[in-house]
Amino acid sequence: MKKTVLFCFILLISGGLCAETSKHKLPKQIDPHSFANFDEVVVTHMSLNLQANFKKSRLEGSNTLRYQVLKPTAKHLILDTRDLVIKRITYPGSKKELKAKWHLIQADNGLGAALKITLPENHPDLTIHYHSQPQASGLQWLTASQTAGNKHPFLFSQSQAIHARSWIPSQDSPSVRTTYTATITAPKALWVVMSAQNQAEKSADGVYHFNMPQAIPAYLIAIAVGDLAYKNISKHVSIYAEDAYLEKAAYEFAETENMITAAEKLYGAYRWGTYDLLILPPSFPFGGMENPRLSFITPTVIAGDRSLDSLIAHELAHSWSGNLVTNASWRDLWLNEGFTTYFEARITEAVHGTERMKMEAALNLQGLKAEMAEMDPKYQALALKENINDPDDVFSGVAYDKGRFFLEWMEVAVGRPTFDAFLNKYFDDFAFKSISTDQFLQYLDKHLIQPSQGKITMKAVKQWIYEPGLPDTLPVPTTDRFKVIDKQVADLTINDKGLKKIASDQWTTQEWLHFMKALPEQLNQKQMQALDNHFQFSQAANAEIAHVWLMMSIKNDFQPAFARLISYLNEIGRMKLIVPLYQALAESKAHQNLGKNIYQSARPGYHNLARYKIDPLFPDMKFETQDAK
């Protein structure tokens, strides 16, 4: 008997159906990135019961789903999965364990496999017994040596955009919201946290119970397991971090409570109870992730002077834009990220002042323009018309900064009080709902465009949303602090004597970044050396400043900085900071080999998402394990 046939037979007699794909067609999709049939049957609650098995690098257990049948003719519940091993599906509550019929239909477009379950009569829940696999795209299993403490392993999830399905069989579309509860078992030495109400103490027996009473999309379900310490820092805010980061993070993010106060004043009550921060190991692939009640934060923003805490403002702002009002599909990502980047700036302005906000805006605009200069015009629209296979592929500054400047343009046109009142109502009217760009436009027309009496028009709005590039009406951020620097750079002769005249004593991180970016792109060895002697850029503790310096060093072949380049790339895995460095190395004939060597040693410590971005830069490299994505 062929292996697959035997496999099918075993599954058949155990009550399920086989995972053979040929006979079953992929279901029609409502969301381009999900197979879930949430127009017919919708999951309303999930109850996870999982064990973190560090030896096998997998989560094992079950998910019990409660669902609601919207169309009485519906025969199946369809869920998203990716690389999950489904063992059996049963109906809880029945005296004899009843088994459901199901099959997996594998897609070849990166969306995973549809799990099609035949609906029983009169059973409102079903339990899926399953485990994840080591290559789960949404989980990173770190060994002890990849953590700061060096003693215990660490696990964290990153579910946005479509990775929840790699550890939870679920309707993995941002249009579907569920409440969840979870019981998680982990080795006793470790602490488990989730995007839910968290405990202030480690449990004695390694068992943790969670409850998320507000309905959230699957991409916001998050877990981390590690040797964590805990510190409450204010009314709403506590920090979870490895011991090595705890006190530093408590200092760095001390403004968080003020940010909550400022945000509530702007756009209404914070609706999620507490707002905690989890500091992850440095391989975390993003700056931050807005998991509800517990933002996940990279340690690379711990600069020692609170200068990079806008990241917290950003993740906090998602508690309104994103977590409360959610983009209906990943094509509408700008509704999450553009609104959040605008809101982030308003919080930063309230907490750190207008100058800091404007400096960040100017740096972001400069970055956006540079990015767009190299980008296919079809990806420069806020709302993408293109069918995108993998939402990770079109991740760029467009959704963030173009989105933000679009909102600022409207703010300037109608005046701040009117715009704030509009946003307040928007968050209220769409609270706990998902919204598409079309729905947004309808709402905008009624509540802002028409009442504005010509101050903003639908035509101008549509240009922002559907056309490439940046409209002429772009509100350009200017700040005197940068003008002073521009003047000094214009007069500068880059040598030891010239650099002594630069008055940098009081510069903040943003001024340093602007200064470095204002320098000529081509610098010779003497000039690079003079800059390094004078400002010790190769030793910069600030990860953003070090990043810009290392970019300059690769481009100008400044080898004295390469020891730092090697340690930098081996220590951190935040994609925004490392991918451009690898790109520069891969593009440089002289340093491509250095790039390969560094990548060879650093790759095992990187997240799947980072590998997925960096692997293609070195096409002739062979890797031991080809990770499933």
450-456 own/partner pairs: CB under 8 Å, 24+ apart: 452/413, 452/414, 452/418, 455/413, 455/414, 456/410, 456/413, 456/414
Eight-class DSSP state of 219: G
Q: How far is the CB of 158 from ligand BES (least distance, A)?
A: 7
Strands 102-106 and 113-118: antiparallel
Which residue(s) pair with 98 in the sheet?
Answer: 91
Pick 54 or 395: Cβ nearer ligand BES: 395
- Triad 183, 188, 189: Cα angle to 5°: 125
Q: What is the largest CA-CA distance in the chain?
A: 86
Pick 337 or 615: Cβ nearer Zn ion: 337
Indicate which of ligand BES, Zn ion, none lies near residue 223 (CB less than 5 to 8 Å, by partner kind).
Answer: none
Q: Of 325-364, which residues contact ligand BES (CB under 6 A)?
A: 337
Tokens, residue 349: 């302005």
The SS3 call for residue 53 is strand
Pick 196 or 531: Cβ nearer ligand BES: 196
Q: Are 570 and 601 in contact (CB under 8 A)?
A: yes
Q: How far is the CB of 32 from ligand BES (least distance, A)?
A: 15
Residue-wise DSSP of 408-454: HHHHHHH-HHHHHHHHHHHHHHTTTEEE-HHHHHHHHIIIIITTTTT
Candidates 112, 282, 288, 338; binder of ligand BES (CB under 6 A) is 288
Candidates 379, 400, 422, 612; binder of ligand BES (CB under 6 A) is 400
397 binds ligand BES (CB under 6 A): no
The SS3 call for residue 86 is strand
315 binds ligand BES (CB under 6 A): yes
Q: Are 137 and 84 in contact (CB under 8 A)?
A: no
Pick 228 or 308: Cβ nearer ligand BES: 308
Q: How far is the CB of 525 from Zn ion (least distance, A)?
A: 40
Q: What is the C-alpha to C-alpha distance for residues 172 and 160, in angstroms, rounded to an integer? A: 10
- Triad 90, 95, 98: Cα angle to 5°: 25
The SS3 call for residue 80 is strand
255 binds ligand BES (CB under 6 A): no
Pick 208 or 395: Cβ nearer ligand BES: 395
Q: Which residue is nearest to ligand BES (CB)?
A: 287
- Residue partners of 184: CB distance under 8 A and separation at least 6: 48, 50, 51, 52, 192, 194, 207, 208, 210, 223, 225
314 binds ligand BES (CB under 6 A): yes
Candidates 311, 383, 465, 543; binder of ligand BES (CB under 6 A) is 311
Q: Which residues are catalytic?
A: 315, 400
Indicate which of ligand BES, Zn ion, none lies near residue 400 (CB less than 5 to 8 Å, by partner kind).
Answer: ligand BES
Candidates 84-92, 248-256, 288-296, 444-452 — which segment interacts with ligand BES by CB under 6 A?
288-296
321 binds ligand BES (CB under 6 A): no
154 binds ligand BES (CB under 6 A): no
Candidates 112, 287, 477, 605; binder of ligand BES (CB under 6 A) is 287
Q: What is the C-alpha to C-alpha distance for residues 320 and 429, in angstroms, rounded to an integer? A: 12
Pick 267 or 400: Cβ nearer ligand BES: 400
Q: How far is the CB of 314 from Zn ion (least distance, A)?
A: 6
Q: What is the C-alpha to C-alpha distance for residues 104 and 5, in angstroms, rounded to an integer? A: 15
Pick 40 or 544: Cβ nearer Zn ion: 544
CB-CB neighbours of 217 under 10 Å: 24
Candidates 84-92, 225-233, 308-316, 558-566 — which segment interacts with ligand BES by CB under 6 A?
308-316
Binding site for Zn ion (CB under 5 A): 337, 340
Pick 395 or 405: Cβ nearer ligand BES: 395
CB-CB neighbours of 294 under 10 Å: 26
Q: Of 158-217, which residues contact ligand BES (CB under 6 A)?
A: 160-161
The alpha-helical segments, DSSP class H, found in 209-282 are: 243-252, 256-267
Candidates 6-14, 22-30, 168-176, 309-317 — which segment interacts with ligand BES by CB under 6 A?
309-317
Q: 426-455 mask for ligand BES (x: CB under 6 A)?
A: ------------------------------
Eight-class DSSP state of 170: B
Indicate which of ligand BES, Zn ion, none lies near residue 206 (CB less than 5 to 8 Å, by partner kind).
Answer: none
395 binds ligand BES (CB under 6 A): yes
Pick 191 or 343: Cβ nearer Zn ion: 343
Candidates 104-112, 310-318, 452-460, 586-594 — which segment interacts with ligand BES by CB under 6 A?
310-318
Closest listed residue to residue 110, CA positions, set 77, 141, 140, 80 = 80
* Interface contacts to ligand BES, rule CB under 6 A: 160-161, 286-290, 311, 314-315, 318, 337, 395, 400, 576
